[in-house]
Amino acid sequence: MDTGYDFITPEFFNILFFNQKNLVIYPYVDLKHIHSLDCFTVGHDLIDIDSTGLNNIHDIVEFETSNSYSQQPPLYYLLNVNAEDVEKLMDAPNARCIINTSENVEHLANGNYYIFYNKKNKTFLNYQPDRENISFELHLIQNSQNEQGLLDEVLKIKNTATKIYSDLNANNNSDNLPRLLSDYEQIYWDKILTFTQLYFNIQIPKFNRPKISSKKNILALSKDFSEEYEFILKTNRKIGQKFIQLLHDYRFDKVNPANLEIDQLYYPKKLYNYLRNHHWTKGIPQEFIMNWVQKLNTNSHLSENDRLDFQIVFDKLRIIPAKTIDNLKEIKASKEPVNKDSSFDNKITKKSAETIPSIENFQEFKNWLLKKIDELGNLL
C-alpha cells in the first residue's frame, strides 16, 4: 500500500531538487501520495494535468513551458500518461515534470535527465544511489521532525541560492560566496552551488574557501541539556507548559533571531539547549525563575501538588530552593546562578544544618517537604 512517506527519501531529494532532473514513476500512484514530492520541487509553480482523453499532452506542456510569464518556472505533475506520450515528453528539452503512468515503460529508461522509478519493487532503472553523494539530503531528512520542518530547510537552501544569484549579478565576482554559504558546513557547499547553477542556469566562478572551524565541531563542543528540559516537562504538565511559553518569550525579548537555526526558533528543547550553551552558561537566571513561579501563581492558582512539583524540579536542577512558594514575596533571588554545572548528581542544596532527605528516597523526601509546608503555613 502506497503512502506519501514512500517518496520522502534522500534519493528523490537528490534527483528533483539538487540535480533538477525529471522523474517517471510507474505503475499508478494516488495523487495525494505523489504530491508528497512537493517539498523537493520548491521554486516552481506546480501544475496538475490529467492526460486521460488528451492526445496532445506533449504539445500542451511544451507550449505552456515556453509561454509562462510566472517568476517561477512551471513544474508539471502529469498523471495517467501512456507510454507513447512519455516517450514524446522526453524530447521536451525545457520541461520540468513528474510523470506517473500505469504502463510498463522500462524500455524508455534511456539517458539520465528523466529518471525512471518502479515503485512496485522500489528500484530506479537509470539512477544508482550508491554512486551519488546524498549525505546532505540524508542529514536534512533525519534532522527534520516532520514534512513541514523539511520544507523549511529546503526553502532556506532556495533562499541562499537566490542570494548567491543576486549577489553574482550585482557584483560580478565571488567574494561574498563564503559569507552567503556560512550557515552550512563547507562539505555541503558544492551541493548548494550545484542547485544554484542548475536552477538559475548560471556558472558559479571559483573562489577561495576560508579555513574555519566547522559548525559541526562547534556543536560537538556544546553540552546537551535535554535531560534538564525533559525532566521539567514530565514532572508537571502545567509547570512545563508555562516553562515553554516563557522560553519563547525570553527568545523574543533577548535573543537575536539571526543567531538561531530554524529548528531553534520552533522547537523548545533545541531553544533551551541553545540558551543553556550561550545565554545561560552558568544556569537559569533567577529573574526567569521568579517570573516562572509568579506567572503560574497569577494565571492559575498553584495547588499543593504544584508547589511540591516545583520543589522537586528545583532540587533536581540544583536550584537554590525558594523559602516558600505559598508566599511569593518571600522567594529570595540568589546571588549565584541557579545551576553551577549541568551534572545531575542529585545532591540537595543545604540551607541549614538540618539533614534533608535525598530525593532518591522520594517518599521520605515528600513527607519531609509536606511537613515543612505545614510548618510554614502555621507561621503565616
103-124 pLDDT, tens per residue?
A: 999 999 988 899 999 999 999 9
Characterize 153-183 residue by residue with b for buried, 16 or more Cβ atoms within 10 angstroms of its Cβ, and e for exposed. Answer: bbebbbebbebbbebbeeeeebeebeebbee
- Find, among 128, 290, 67, 261, the residue nearest to 182 by Cα: 261
Handedness of CA 177, 178, 182, 185 (dihedral sign): positive
Determine which helix (DSSP H) or strand (DSSP E) holds 50, and give its type and residue range. Answer: strand 45-50
Domains of the chain, each with CATH number or no CATH: 4-135 (3.40.50), 149-212 (no CATH), 222-379 (no CATH)
- Grid cell locating 238: 502545567
Residue with cell 501544475: 47
Q: What is the pLDDT of residue 92?
A: 83
Q: Taking the C-alpha atoms of 36, 37, 39 and 40 in order, what is their torsion angle to the nearest 10 degrees?
A: 170
With a cut of 60, say whether residue 379 has pLDDT above it. no
Q: What is the pLDDT of residue 285?
A: 86
Q: What is the pLDDT of residue 353?
A: 40
- Find, among 167, 178, 238, the residue nearest to 210 by Cα: 178
Q: What is the pLDDT of residue 307?
A: 84
Q: What is the pLDDT of residue 8?
A: 93
Q: What is the pLDDT of residue 263?
A: 73
Alpha helices in 2-134 (DSSP H): 10-12, 31-34, 57-66, 83-89
Q: What is the pLDDT of residue 349?
A: 38
Q: What is the pLDDT of residue 350?
A: 39
With a cut of 90, say whether residue 162 has pLDDT above it. yes
- State how far the Cα of 303 lies from the Cα of 310, in Å rounded to an integer: 11
Burial group, residue 267, by CB count within 10 angstroms (0-12, 13-18, 19+): middle
Of residues 334 and 177, more confidence is placed in 177
180-193 pLDDT, tens per residue?
A: 999 999 999 999 99
